[in-house]
Structure 1
Amino acid sequence: MPFKVILAVTGPDVPDPRLDLAVSLCQDAEAHLAVLATAVAAPPPIGRYAAEISDAWHEERRAEIANLQKFAAELREKLAQKDVSSDISTIYEEEGWVDDVIGQRAKYTDLVLLGPDLLAHPLMKEKVVEGALFRAGKPLLVIPEGARPTLKPKRILVAWNARIEASKAVSAAIELLAGAESVHVALVDPEQGERDHGFEPGADIATYLAKHGAKVTVDRLPSQGRPVEDILRQHAVDVAADMLVMGAYGHSRMRQRIFGGVTRSMLDNPPLPVFLAR
């Protein structure tokens, strides 16, 4: 699908906001940049001293809201000077609900960015991941420090394990895959069988991608006891990949997102731009 509306989350508490990366990406893709300026509100006071400190709490909230509005106004002024279509909205919400609000905004976009500024901010990183992948079901582009993101990658590595999350990631990234000069589909220790990869592992996904115009190579990789994430990292280097496309694996438990080892590793230390979907 085309990426015509791209969401970037930032806020006054995010050190060194990297909106230039988002602007560059949107200019390259001729996309609209939606910016969500976010501030996390302190929870209301409770207990025996709540009445005594409520005035101070209200004053703190007013100051934080004013600071958020000032931050958003400065962003509007900066973006007005850029050659990009954009809009800025704000949210001021308690921590437990921030991911819901981000997810609500993400529903009306095609792709959510998670740049190096948010990767270095554990709370906002968690909220953006949860909002995009779980609340909105939208793909996430993870951009590590030093990377120049593009929606026109030349060489893409696909982590394929025949699970539904991988299938959704491939479908979400199909335009990128079709436009790339080369697509390497990596299968780590693939198992043959009708319920797994089929009787020729990699053949079905290669045929599917080829029908969309992708130039596909299937790489069957033995793990030899090594973690899958390590094999993917090394193979990304071996094929000089510009982007890794993979499914995000996890489930909800009491509002906490528990990710599998490969997904968590790529979120904690992405080796290159990673396109995640679930």
Structure 2
Amino acid sequence: MTCPSLLVYVDEGDESDARVELACDLAVSFDALLIGLSASLPQPPMLAPIAGMGEVLAVYRETAESEVERAGARFREITDARSVRAEWRAGLDSPGRMLAGDARAADLIIIAQKARGAPFRAPDPGDVILTAGRPVLVVPPVRARSPVGEPVLVAWKDTRESRQAVAEALPLLRMASRVDVIEVAAAPDMALAGTRTADVCQFLKRHQIEATPTPLADNGDPTTVRILAEASRRKAGLVIAGGYGHGRIRQWMLGGVTRSLLNHGDVCFLMAH
């Protein structure tokens, strides 16, 4: 199992350049086609219709066109320098809607953790996880380590989303220097957590991936804090987790692991829903 095609969202700035460089690293590792995508939706003015509104809208449209053109030029500059097989897609559209649609062309989606300019200039990570139908690699503004060839932490919870994330992460797991499967469990559930994490490791072993099961006793810390602490302690470059197992509206109202992970940390996350 490999990733023959990757799709990376491109905008402007150093963070976007770093994300494209990471996408190039993955494209080289997988001998994959790298699809760059950028979209900008002309933002409607926050004014009541007035004389000259047509000219105002034209300016917004020209601004949006210029943004995606600059993103495309930078993408081509980076991919040409890296000799990566690349394809460019752009449009004056909602970034989230366009990315979700064009996800049909790719095996893995690569986006920013911080959606600056969403929804008009960048896709919201939560929306992408829920709608793309593909695994999503979420890249923080500053990465402590690479998600390729470094230790990987699987943050297991016995849900459909976690099973999907692990299955779709197999190509990246094969390149990991070490894989640990953790599950945070209350004291009465530790034996079951041990069984579940061992099952995941056996599944991975059948795919020629060695992994270590590590059930962790709940110590009262929030699950997100525990996951990030374990990732840091193990020097993980990638954390694999299911996305929005409890529903996004509930997480927005009450908080949740997915929402917290998308707002914190200096490690890449691969999520699936």
Shorter-chain TM-score: what band? 0.7 to 0.9
Between 1:68-77 and 1:216-225, the stretch displaced more is: 68-77
Deviations 1:21-73 (A, max 9, x none): 322332233222111122231237885x3554123212431353255335424
Helix, strand or coil for the counterpart of 2:88? strand
Partner of 1:277: 272
Identity of aligned residues (%): 24
User: Is the 8 Å Cα contact of residues 179 and 211 (structure 2) preserved in structure 1?
Assistant: yes
Partner of 2:156: 160
Unaligned runs of 5+ in 1: none
Partner of 1:232: 227
Helix, strand or coil for the counterpart of 1:185? strand
User: Is the 8 Å Cα contact of residues 5 and 34 (structure 1) preserved in structure 2?
Assistant: yes
Partner of 1:69: 69
Partner of 1:39: 40
| Residues 1:107 and 2:104 are matched in the alignment | yes
Query: What does 1:155-194 align with in structure 2 at a 5 Å threshold?
Result: 155-189=151-185, 192=189
Partner of 1:22: 23
* Deviation at residue 163 of structure 1 after TM alignment: 0.7
Query: What does 1:5-16 align with in structure 2 at a 5 Å threshold?
Result: 5-12=5-12
**Equivalent position amino acid for 2:36 in 1:** V
For 1:6 and 1:58, the matched residues in 2 are separated by 33
For 1:259 and 1:4, the matched residues in 2 are separated by 38
For 1:183 and 1:16, the matched residues in 2 are separated by 27
CA shift in 2, pair 1:106/1:259, >3 Å: farther
User: Is the 8 Å Cα contact of residues 182 and 214 (structure 1) preserved in structure 2?
Assistant: no
Between 1:118-127 and 1:222-231, the stretch displaced more is: 118-127
Helix, strand or coil for the counterpart of 1:41? coil
Q: 2:114 aligns with which of 100, 115, 119?
A: 119
| Residues 1:135 and 2:134 are matched in the alignment | no
CA shift in 2, pair 1:240/1:82, >3 Å: closer
Unaligned runs of 5+ in 2: none
Q: 1:202 aligns with which of 182, 197, 205?
A: 197
**Equivalent position amino acid for 1:238 in 2:** R
CA shift in 2, pair 1:234/1:6, >3 Å: same
CA shift in 2, pair 1:148/1:92, >3 Å: farther
**Equivalent position amino acid for 2:16 in 1:** P
For 2:87 and 2:38, the matched residues in 1 are separated by 11
| Residues 1:79 and 2:75 are matched in the alignment | no
Which aligned runs of 4 or more in structure 1 are off by greater than 6 angstroms?
A: 256-259
**Equivalent position amino acid for 1:42 in 2:** Q
For 2:194 and 2:68, the matched residues in 1 are separated by 56
TM-score, normalised via structure 1 length = 0.81
* Deviation at residue 241 of structure 1 after TM alignment: 2.0
User: Is the 8 Å Cα contact of residues 21 and 148 (structure 1) preserved in structure 2?
Assistant: no
Give the total of aligned pairs.
Answer: 266
Helix, strand or coil for the counterpart of 2:21? helix
* Deviation at residue 92 of structure 1 after TM alignment: 1.0
For 1:42 and 1:167, the matched residues in 2 are separated by 39
Helix, strand or coil for the counterpart of 1:84? coil
**Equivalent position amino acid for 2:103 in 1:** A
The structure carrying a bigger strand percent of its residues is: 1
User: Is the 8 Å Cα contact of residues 142 and 270 (structure 1) preserved in structure 2?
Assistant: no
For 1:67 and 1:121, the matched residues in 2 are separated by 14
User: Is the 8 Å Cα contact of residues 11 and 39 (structure 1) preserved in structure 2?
Assistant: no
Between 1:51-60 and 1:207-216, the stretch displaced more is: 51-60
**Equivalent position amino acid for 1:17 in 2:** S
